[in-house]
């Protein structure tokens, strides 16, 4: 079975056709710039181009960087505030002319990693963190998702943790791996105080360089890189279209 996944990010909107038999992308993913301002209507225009690129008319999974509660967008990070209160499933299904399932972007990545990747078979508490423009999170207990956790917005040092520990901050401030790992250790120590998970999965684009920083992170729970790296979201979105409830 093949399904299309489309991930709306702060800088780019990425789509990929996924073969759910082997959890792999069929061909290359396709990326276009996120419009400014990133309103629902403007994003729908870009997503329509991605659908046309793949010649796709089937059920589609779409990720939004924000909380999705009962299909309604309740927060919007790195996109436009006009998303707030929008029933995203209904909006995209109407504007795109295809059946759409919309979930949080980090939750999508978590679905892929728990189904086929680094979290497969984990029955304890597992937390996936995606490091990029911000810090996304997904939490699973006994393999079941606890949606919309948004742990990147925990308050540390008087601000959202993603404001001083995201991958973009590491690049913007030209932090060494040791310096960035120091900030990550503070973040993970706070997570351990709150949750004590059995497993951490680290994803996002920077996970391809996990050997440079993961060994520097000290946690009681196991910590591993995401199997699917930055493609986890697209793969998880394809999987989400097959689930009765998210």
Query: pTM for the complete prediction?
Result: 0.93
| Ordered alpha helix ranges (H), 74-176 | 88-96, 105-115, 162-165, 167-172
Residue 77 pLDDT > 90: no
pLDDT at residue 71 in the model:
94
> Can you list the domains of the chain with their CATH numbers?
2-107+232-240 (3.30.420.40), 120-226 (3.30.420.40)
What contacts 87, CB < 8 A, 6 or more positions away?
Answer: 71, 72
Average pLDDT over residues 215-227: 96
The predicted model gives 122-135 an average pLDDT of 95
**Average pLDDT for 126-138:** 95
10: pLDDT confidence band, cut at 50, 70 and 90?
A: confident
């Amino acid at each position: 079975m093949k399904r299309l996944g489309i991930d709306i990010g702060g800088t780019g909107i990425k789509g990929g056709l996924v073969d759910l038999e082997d959890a792999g992308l069929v061909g290359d993913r396709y990326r276009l710039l996120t419009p400014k301002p990133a309103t629902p209507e403007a994003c729908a225009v870009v997503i329509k181009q991605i659908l046309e690129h793949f010649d796709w008319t089937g059920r589609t999974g779409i990720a939004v960087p924000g909380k999705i509660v009962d299909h309604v967008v309740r927060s919007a990070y790195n996109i436009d505030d006009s998303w707030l209160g929008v029933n995203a499933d209904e909006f995209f299904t109407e504007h795109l002319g295809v059946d759409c399932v919309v979930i949080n972007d980090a939750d999508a990545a978590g679905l892929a990693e728990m189904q086929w990747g680094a979290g497969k078979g984990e029955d304890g508490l597992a937390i996936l963190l995606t490091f990029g423009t911000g810090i996304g999170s997904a939490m699973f207990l006994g393999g079941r998702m606890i949606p919309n956790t948004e742990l990147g917005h925990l308050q540390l040092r008087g601000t959202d943790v993603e404001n001083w520990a995201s991958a973009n901050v590491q690049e913007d401030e030209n932090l060494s791996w040791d310096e960035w790992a120091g900030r990550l250790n503070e973040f993970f120590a706070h997570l351990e105080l709150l949750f004590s998970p059995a497993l951490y999965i680290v994803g996002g684009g920077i996970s391809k360089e996990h050997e440079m920083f993961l060994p520097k992170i000290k946690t009681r729970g196991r910590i591993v890189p995401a199997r699917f790296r930055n493609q986890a979201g697209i793969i998880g979105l394809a999987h989400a279209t097959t689930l009765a409830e998210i």
